[in-house]
Structure 1
């Protein structure tokens, strides 16, 4: 193997690695838009992420809409960290009427 063929192999490897890196950067920057155009869309989607908010490196808030109902999820460390839903406030007790004693007819 002479120097020219060795140089050509190294140059081809450098070009290949460079193209792979360029494709990775392009997919990272433009990937979600391109992938959403490639996937056929149904007429109406039931599930949508409305908004996300990063709280810290391990936790984020996600507002999800499903069938018109929005839920707020706290995600972190590979799991949903939501507390159980709060029980609804108890309804006020109906007003009691005072019992009247029947009058004795004398």
Structure 2
């Protein structure tokens, strides 16, 4: 019966090593920062780059959205060169309503 005990010990060792490998894979895949990643993925981002344009090798224009308002920045040489003021939305062009037609007064006889 010693051969059955040997096979049982080898099988137990295999199961144990398999569980350790499975735990290592799960830790690598889901890791201690997995919960943090899930929480940050659900957060609403306040700042978003809308568009970026390279003017030359040292300067760049960036339009970004902050809390739903778009702003313009000029970046260059490792510093903020200019902060564009908040752009006001253009006022809609409205045409005045036509005046009601006024008929000429009746001649008095």
* TM-score, normalised via structure 1 length: 0.40
- Structure of higher CA gyration radius: 2
* TM-score, normalised via structure 2 length: 0.39
